[in-house]
Chains A and B, each alone.
Chain A
Amino acid sequence: MLSFNEPGWFALFLMFPVLIWARFIWRKRGGRIIFPYRVWGGDGFRPPRTWLRSVVVFTDILYCLGSVALIAALAGPEITEKEEVYLSRGIDIIIVLDQSPSMGAKDFPPVNRFDTARDMIRRFIAGRSGDSIGLVTFGSDAVLRCPPTADYAWLSERIDELELRDLGDDTAIGMGLAVATLHLANSTAPEKIILLLTDGDDNAGEIRPEMAARLADDQKIRIYSIGIGSEGEVPIELINSENGTVTRGTIVTNFDEDQLRSLADVTGGGYWRANSPGALETVFQAVDALESVVRRVTVRVSSRPVHRNLVIIGSLLVAVVYLIRKLLLGETP
């Protein structure tokens, strides 16, 4: 939006009608050279219409536009943007995402569980504002991909970079939770949340999920666990990123529903099961709704001055007019 920080300068436009009248209409204006060319009571010499007339009118208009631009620049034009700003501290969320090969199962169209989950996470992030969100992924081991941050762009880049099987073929849920807990431990956020997405049983890592949940609870972190995957045999397709070979097959995955529920219960969180993309979306919406806290929001107006462009445009117009009329056409005076 365009606004002016000193609009009073626009009053200079009041001079325009006077100046235009004095320059073009006023009979007694100066700058006209006395040169008899009429015949009294008769006709006299009629100047022929030439292209010159258009050049003169055109340059007069340019001169006016140049002055308008300079006056507008004087009024201090700014592009202002209204921005909602969160004054209070938002909550901290770490998403703990299963990166084990079984996430390649194709029961979550369009591609697979992993990509659908990634999509949902992106959408979830887009819906939040003012919160810090981090990302931990786990396979045989767990890694912090992104610390809790409000820099969602950076987080999205990390999400995009993820590839299945980066971290081995196992499912170390406990490690994932522990890493997330570690990075949330000294957060000053009023609410700390771990969002766990997995499709399998914990089968690796030095830390058991129950242990990790207790650690999380000590730090007042709540765990929301989401089990994903449909029952029965599902086709799976894995692409080796190093040599491009594709492995196809079917697997049967099952997650320990009781365990996931108990993780949530211990920490005062919640457990959902998502056996389809639609269900997963609903789950994310539920989490989103649960963790909406009332926050102090203010509207901040940020402005970017644009007067310099007008100064440059205006002065160039005036200079061009001077160049054309004085130098090319040799205007006098």
Chain B
Amino acid sequence: MNWAYPASLWGLLVVPLAITAAVIAGRKGRRSLNAIGRNSVEWQVRSFLRNLAMAVFIILVVLAASEPRSGRKPVTGERSGLDVAVAFDVSRSMLAEDLSPSRLDRSVTALQQMLRSLDDSRFSLIPFKGDALLMVPMTEDRVVLDMWAGRLGPGLFTHPGTDVEAALRTARDSFPKGDGRNRVLVLITDGDTLSGRIDRISRDLAEEGIPVYTMAVGTSEGSTIPLGDGSYVKDSTGHPVVSRTRMDILKRLAEDTGGSFHELSRPGATADLIADIEEGREFSESRGIRFVGVNRYRIFLIPSLFFLLFFLLVRIIPWRRR
């Protein structure tokens, strides 16, 4: 189980507050009952149960608002054809040479292989760095795609960084409206110093049933980044920066959206990626269903409502008449 809104879990911080509130409320209640000469075990139990019910309600409702997600459910919908949005990392760390000749060159080769293999598909191309740009809109035009594939490089943007969220969002928006085609997102990145709220876009993509196939370029061991003149990118202390791939994030992203994760450093990775995409498409076209993430907020919302009812019933139910 993972959370669609993990940030909401911070809401659990109100729990100590809620308990403090319950204790204060309990004390006030006892004082009231003493004043009126009715302090009895019955009333104390009642007060305690009500405050307890409210505290439990708050915990459960926060969990419900964080939206636990697990599993995927099929959704019917006839689809044919395939649209692939390719988000392509052109950050400077892509110049690292832990893959030969460089991460960038290997990635471009992989992209070209995809363009050739998925020949009846449409592609859009979104190079990204600290910023993302829809360079080629969703098109079948291989001439344009091949041309831009060859021109990908860090020079396209001046904004440093690796904003995956912006890239994925731009990629998602590149699927034209009113198309009954299968949609697939391919993220090619070295996964270094990723920024942006990946959980947020991942949630949206899962909801819409757009799988993200991630291609990790580079190695977990990392590599220094050459500047072309024989020197390397250095940090403020003068040590060469080592770029490492955050495999876990990419793996998680693929898992959450129903795609798959691949490492370009492994032989046959590109072919596997293409096979996965085709398999998904075939499944969708032959069965007329695809899978979207399932939100299981009800498993917390139902008990929370129960405790809300309990909160009320503890008050309403007459225990014994004096």
Contacts and interface: CB of A to CB of B under 8 A. Distances in A.
Do chains A and B directly touch (beta carbons under 8 Å) in the complex? Answer: yes
B301 A300 contact: no
A149 B139 contact: yes
Given A305-B207, A323-B21, A89 B81 contact: yes
Contacts of B315: 23, 29-31, 333
A331 B124 CA distance: 62
A84 interface: yes
Interface in A161-204: 182-183, 185-189
Interface string A236-277: 000000000000000000000000000000000000000000
A307 B38 contact: no
A23 B314 CA distance: 11
B249 interface: no
B180 interface: yes
A92 B22 CA distance: 67
Interface stretch (A66-74, A98-106, A109-117, A207-215): A66-74
A333 B24 contact: no
Contacts of B124: 151
Nearest to A34: B322
Interface residues of A, number: 67
- Give the size category of B's interface with A: 35 or more
Nearest to A23: B316
Main SS class of interface, B:
helix
B308 A333 contact: no
Given A182-B143, A311-B297, A332 B180 contact: no
Contacts of A323: 21
A33 B36 contact: yes
Contacts of B32: 330, 332
Interface string A76-103: 0000000111110100100000000000
Given A30-B317, A67-B308, A311-B61, A151 B141 contact: no
A46 interface: no
A298 B180 contact: yes
Contacts, number: 179
Contact of B137 (A74, A151, A188): A151
Contacts of B46: 30-31, 333
A287 interface: no
Nearest to A189: B140
Contacts of B227: none
A327 B24 contact: yes
Contact of B301 (A19, A73, A83): A73
B28 interface: yes
Interface in A28-70: 28-31, 33-35, 67, 70
A218 to B, nearest CB: 16
21 contacts: A12-B305, A29-B318, A31-B316, A67-B305, A85-B178, A85-B179, A132-B139, A132-B140, A144-B144, A149-B176, A150-B138, A152-B176, A188-B140, A298-B180, A311-B61, A315-B58, A315-B65, A323-B21, A326-B25, A333-B46, A333-B314
Give me the 3 closest cross-chain CB pairs, A-B, nearest first: A150-B176, A147-B141, A330-B28
